[in-house]
Amino acid sequence: MVTINTNTPVDEELVKEKEAAFAAFIQRRGLKTTRQRNTIISTFFRMRGHISVEELLVQVKKANPRIGYATVYRTLHLLVESGLVEERRFGDGLARYEGHSAVEHHDHMICLECGLISEFYNPRLEALQESLAEENNFEIYRHRLELYGVCKDKAACEARKQQKAARAQGA
């Protein structure tokens, strides 16, 4: 298993690449380059994790308070269409977005106590899914696997939970 580390700082090189890739996409589609879209994508790519529209908007407004959420929604759709970003839904009723990690595809473990989302990738798991699809005469385009449960490290889990509560209080 590969467990994907989310705590490393954001790689500026990579961000620049993604910004360029998005610019190319905009070009290709005959769309226009705008101040707002640039602000939104450069904010987004510098954030970590699985980001909700709300969370993104808060950050975006720090750079330009006049940007509204319609534009954020619209830009996120473009990011998804460009293939640079994936939409996730972990069952709390809101869409979350993530730029691709180092590993192209990955699945998730979600702690129901502290909210920690761990990412993992396992080739045996992927292969097994393929073979099950094969048996059923089915061709897989994409899949989603989410493991819901709790951290076994209760101390760390509780600490994250506290931290989260404090943040919610302050906000």
Query: Is the CB of 40 or the CB of 151 nearer to DNA?
Result: 40
Place of tokens 């069952």: 91
Segment interacting with DNA (CB under 7 A) among 91-99, 101-109, 137-145, 153-161: 91-99
At its nearest, how many Å lie between DNA and the CB of residue 127? Answer: 32
CA 69 to chain centre: 18
Contacted entry of DNA, a copy of itself, Zn ion, none for residue 123, CB cut-off 5 to 8 Å set by kind: none
At its nearest, how many Å lie between a copy of itself and the CB of residue 156? Answer: 9
Residues at the site binding a copy of itself, with contacts judged by CB under 8 A: 1, 3, 89, 91, 109, 111-112, 118, 120, 122, 124-125, 128-129, 132-133, 135-153
Token pair, residue 66, equals 């006049």
Which own/partner pairs from 81-88 qualify as long-range (CB within 8 Å, at least 24 positions apart)? Answer: 81/25, 82/21, 82/22, 82/25, 84/18, 84/21, 84/22, 84/25, 85/44, 88/50
Reported as type and span, the H/E element at residue 112 is none
User: Applying CB under 7 A, which of residues 4, 15, 63, 95 lies at the interface with DNA?
Assistant: 95
